[in-house]
Chain A
């Protein structure tokens, strides 16, 4: 028994190598497209994270005007990097609805004071249920939703400054 146990560290590291190797072999395409593109947003209703009077629901996405839905979190480091691009979108009169994952109001306020607040409203998705319903696998992730509440485009990962033009074009298509 003891002899077998002595090999445990070896086996543990061997499994680490397997993980590393698979990470190396499939590095490029990291996107998992949501099956939701072209379909209506799932029914959901989230309490407002900062303002209880401002809940976020499926209905608040289908108001006739195309919008952006941004899934993010204050603890997510890449979300800091995409903040400038979101601010840029907001400055072009794009309405951005945020869904904060596993977050707390005080941490979120701190995040917004540091990185700017591009959001018209932020829903509190404490257990990721809504995120999963959207077919979003991680943070950050961004959806373009048209005026009828149909998902038209999904962007996985950070919105970089040069993605702004693409998203503006998708918003125009969604008119």
Chain B
């Protein structure tokens, strides 16, 4: 019954999306002006229905209702409750339902809280949001129904991929989706503004919180996903340039560019066409990412059920939305008034530089991800594009981007003098030189790219704090703090990446009980190995004693787990975090009495990668808070009025 209720709610939500689109589109015509206000309440009803449907799916998963096909194929009654819960979106259908749920929440939030925008543009935005939602409802209902029944019901389910049985799953996909789908709001805003030709500072200010919010979630999602892959896959790596990782990186790059260009539009009324284009590209990248993951046309470690029919459906949606938006752009953008002009050496100029470099990185990643596919489509040749390509192309461009990031915030809007900018950059340049000297003196031989990374990180860290120089810190606006912290985060993250590739020590040893291995500053002894039963797995648990100098020794337990449903082995790495890095231990299944294969890594300062990511997200959060403070105030006033009226 619950499954049927969820299914019905989904149909009604789809109908609401159609209504929202129709009312919004009609409301734009002169004849039906009176309909303008009616798209907003429909968007709210749509959101309620979708949330209801998603709730129903969570309930059937929590109750392990095996008569629902999706539960039977993806869950198991022995699973801990957290994974039953998170398992709701650990599969194709469930994650698409989560996707439309967030889409509907985004639309409803615009309907409820967006009041700065011209009413025509808002109506057009809601119509666009309704059109996007409609396509994805159709996709769910016609080709990926999450509530389909199976008769007869199996006694138990097939279980969830053990790699996904991790607390990370509960958070990683929803945060990424909020980022992806949040970009849909920016996309709808752009389409709405193209329809009404209303591109200007007001529009930019209305759109900016959405971009910031989506970008924060994308940043958190990517950071968390990277850490999850790092500890769960047991390869000691934190980024694999896997197509699906790239699929999340590309919208982030576009959103980062958009975040900066929308600021130029809001502050100086420049870069109108470019900002619109980026809004379209950012959500297009999100949809292309979804398509790449779901259609199975690229080989990746993230495999969802591969079904060409589904891929075809999403491709049609892509063609419709992206093609439609780009055609609208080509037809309309000439009729949008040109914005203000500015000098090359100015804050605007540096932001254009930032946008250009981010776009270059985006194109590099896009080419690397799709080149194997394009080559196979045209010549039938099969190749694999891996880390050497991405690191050697995107790496140097990123370094240049960071240098630009150091200089940009120290420039004035409209016009600045090169000499004065150089003076403001003197201190950061000193930090950079100092880092170079220190590394040359103490660090030993390092590869050129990691070396440059460390040096540039030092300079950028100094430069990113420079905007606070000689300022009253208590009067500094929150969004300036946000910028400083986010930029500092980029430097911190870059330092972590460079330190990891420059200084990591590693060893693979077949260990006997009692044997000791030296790795970095630690010596690790294999004390004993026992069999440990878990809720739905059995593990080989190694007790290892770690000593460092005269410090008290401590014990760690890396495990090799064997899951029963479905049968699979995973490694639970034992990670010890110190202030200056991580000790990372992985144990494997022994072969032919040759001892236990243990992998040792000592990764100095690797944690900075994710700490930097958190800084970046935190910076975004501060900015967002600083920007919407005003709006929150006016909302409070609105509700105050309503209370008074009733």
**0/1 string, B409-433, CB within 8 A of A gives 1:** 0000000000000000000000000
- Give the docked Cα–Cα distance between A32 and B386 (Å): 21
The answer to whether residues A23 and B291 also contact, given A13-B322, A113-B507 and a CB cut-off of 8 A, is: no
- Is B297 an interface position by the 8 A CB rule? yes
The answer to whether residues A24 and B315 also contact, given A19-B373, A19-B374 and a CB cut-off of 8 A, is: yes
Give the distance to chain B from A108, nearest Cβ to Cβ, in Å. 12
Is A139's CB under 8 angstroms from B384's CB?
A: yes
Is B311's CB under 8 angstroms from A24's CB?
A: yes
**0/1 string, B583-597, CB within 8 A of A gives 1:** 000000001100001
Which residues of the partner chain A approach B563 to less than 8 Å between Cβ atoms?
none
The answer to whether residues A102 and B388 also contact, given A19-B377, A114-B236 and a CB cut-off of 8 A, is: yes
**Contact residue among B235, B327, B329 (Cβ-Cβ distance under 8 Å from A80):** B235
Is A6's CB under 8 angstroms from B334's CB?
A: yes
**0/1 string, B355-375, CB within 8 A of A gives 1:** 000000000000000100110
- Is A78 an interface position by the 8 A CB rule? yes
Give the distance to chain A from B593, nearest Cβ to Cβ, in Å. 12
**0/1 string, A11-35, CB within 8 A of B gives 1:** 0011011111111110100101000
Which residues of the partner chain A approach B373 to less than 8 Å between Cβ atoms?
19-20, 23
Which residues of the partner chain B approach A85 to less than 8 Å between Cβ atoms?
none
**Contact residue among B236, B319, B387 (Cβ-Cβ distance under 8 Å from A75):** B387
Which residues of the partner chain B approach A91 to less than 8 Å between Cβ atoms?
591-592
Is B382's CB under 8 angstroms from A20's CB?
A: no
**Contact residue among B235, B299, B330 (Cβ-Cβ distance under 8 Å from A78):** B299
- Is B23 an interface position by the 8 A CB rule? no
Is B508's CB under 8 angstroms from A114's CB?
A: yes
Which residues of the partner chain A approach B280 to less than 8 Å between Cβ atoms?
9
- Is B640 an interface position by the 8 A CB rule? no
- Is B18 an interface position by the 8 A CB rule? no
Is B315's CB under 8 angstroms from A77's CB?
A: no
- Give the docked Cα–Cα distance between A113 and B598 (Å): 10
User: In chain B between 238 and 252, which residues have their CB closer than 8 angstroms to a CB of chain A?
Assistant: 240, 242
**0/1 string, B216-251, CB within 8 A of A gives 1:** 000000000000000000011000101000000000
Is B334's CB under 8 angstroms from A3's CB?
A: yes
- Give the docked Cα–Cα distance between A118 and B289 (Å): 36
Interface size bracket, A side: 35 or more
Give the distance to chain B from A8, nearest Cβ to Cβ, in Å. 9
- Is B380 an interface position by the 8 A CB rule? yes
The answer to whether residues A27 and B308 also contact, given A17-B315, A19-B374, A110-B506 and a CB cut-off of 8 A, is: yes
- Give the docked Cα–Cα distance between A7 and B329 (Å): 8
Which residues of the partner chain B approach A22 to less than 8 Å between Cβ atoms?
377
- Is A73 an interface position by the 8 A CB rule? yes
Is B382's CB under 8 angstroms from A137's CB?
A: yes
Is A13's CB under 8 angstroms from B323's CB?
A: yes
Q: Return the chain A residue nearest B273 by Cβ.
A: A6
**0/1 string, B285-301, CB within 8 A of A gives 1:** 00010010001110101
- Give the docked Cα–Cα distance between A114 and B334 (Å): 56
- Is B381 an interface position by the 8 A CB rule? yes
- Is A2 an interface position by the 8 A CB rule? yes
- Is B376 an interface position by the 8 A CB rule? yes
Which residues of the partner chain A approach B291 to less than 8 Å between Cβ atoms?
20
Which residues of the partner chain A approach B301 to less than 8 Å between Cβ atoms?
77
**0/1 string, A78-121, CB within 8 A of B gives 1:** 10100000010001000000000010000000100110100000
Is B311's CB under 8 angstroms from A9's CB?
A: no
- Is B454 an interface position by the 8 A CB rule? no
Give the distance to chain A from B234, nearest Cβ to Cβ, in Å. 9
- Give the docked Cα–Cα distance between A20 and B284 (Å): 14
- Give the docked Cα–Cα distance between A147 and B211 (Å): 63
- Is B477 an interface position by the 8 A CB rule? no
- Is B333 an interface position by the 8 A CB rule? yes
Q: Return the chain B residue nearest A75 by Cβ.
A: B386
- Give the docked Cα–Cα distance between A147 and B441 (Å): 55
**Contact residue among B295, B386, B388, B599 (Cβ-Cβ distance under 8 Å from A77):** B386
- Give the docked Cα–Cα distance between A17 and B324 (Å): 13
Is B295's CB under 8 angstroms from A24's CB?
A: yes
The answer to whether residues A137 and B381 also contact, given A9-B326, A27-B297, A114-B508 and a CB cut-off of 8 A, is: yes
- Is B318 an interface position by the 8 A CB rule? yes
Which residues of the partner chain B approach A32 to less than 8 Å between Cβ atoms?
380-382
B interface residues (Cβ-Cβ under 8 A, vs A): 235-236, 240, 242, 277, 280-281, 284, 288, 291, 295-297, 299, 301, 306, 308, 311-312, 315, 318-319, 322-323, 326-327, 329-330, 333-334, 370, 373-374, 376-377, 380-384, 386-388, 506-508, 591-592, 597, 599
Apart from the given pairs A77-B240, A114-B236, 18 other A-B contacts in the complex at a CB distance below 8 Å: A2-B334, A3-B330, A6-B329, A6-B334, A10-B327, A10-B330, A13-B323, A14-B323, A17-B323, A20-B315, A23-B297, A23-B377, A24-B312, A25-B308, A27-B306, A76-B384, A113-B506, A137-B381
The 4 tightest CB contacts between A and B, nearest first, are A75-B386, A23-B297, A22-B377, A138-B382
A interface residues (Cβ-Cβ under 8 A, vs B): 2-3, 6-7, 9-10, 13-14, 16-25, 27, 30, 32, 73, 75-78, 80, 87, 91, 102, 110, 113-114, 116, 137-139, 156
